[in-house]
């Protein structure tokens, strides 16, 4: 079960990364929203990979 949540976390991390780099960054520059989505994406990807390794 932990592995399934980790895979979902990686999928959501890629979605956040795509949204921050492809949508919010060109529209608003390095604004609060783009930085928040970018930090969120990095965190989700790191913790998702960690979950797959330990799961």
Angle at 14 between CA 12 and CA 17, to 5 degrees: 110
Q: Give tens-digit pLDDT for 4-53.
A: 999 999 999 999 999 888 888 888 888 888 888 899 999 999 999 999 99
d(CA 28, CA 52): 34
pLDDT at 27: 82
pTM listed for this prediction: 0.81
Say how many domains are in the chain.
1
- Per DSSP, the chain holds a count of helices (H) and strands (E) of 3, 0
Give the whole-angstrom CA distance, residue 5 versus residue 52.
Answer: 9
In terms of residue numbers, what domain contains 39? 10-54
Quote the DSSP letter at residue 29: S
Determine, yes or no, domain membership for 1.
no
Determine, yes or no, domain membership for 3: no
| pLDDT tens per residue across span 17-31 | 998 888 888 888 888
What was the pLDDT predicted at 24? Answer: 82
Backbone φ and ψ for 29, nearest 5 degrees, come out as 75, -155
Q: Supply the pLDDT for residue 20.
A: 87
3 state DSSP class of 10: helix
Residue 29 within any structural domain of the chain:
yes
């Amino acid at each position: 079960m932990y592995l399934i949540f980790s895979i979902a976390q990686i999928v959501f991390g890629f979605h956040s990364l795509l949204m921050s780099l492809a949508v919010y960054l060109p529209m608003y520059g390095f604004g609060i929203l783009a930085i928040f989505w970018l930090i969120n994406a990095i965190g989700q990807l790191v913790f998702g990979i960690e979950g797959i390794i330990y799961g």
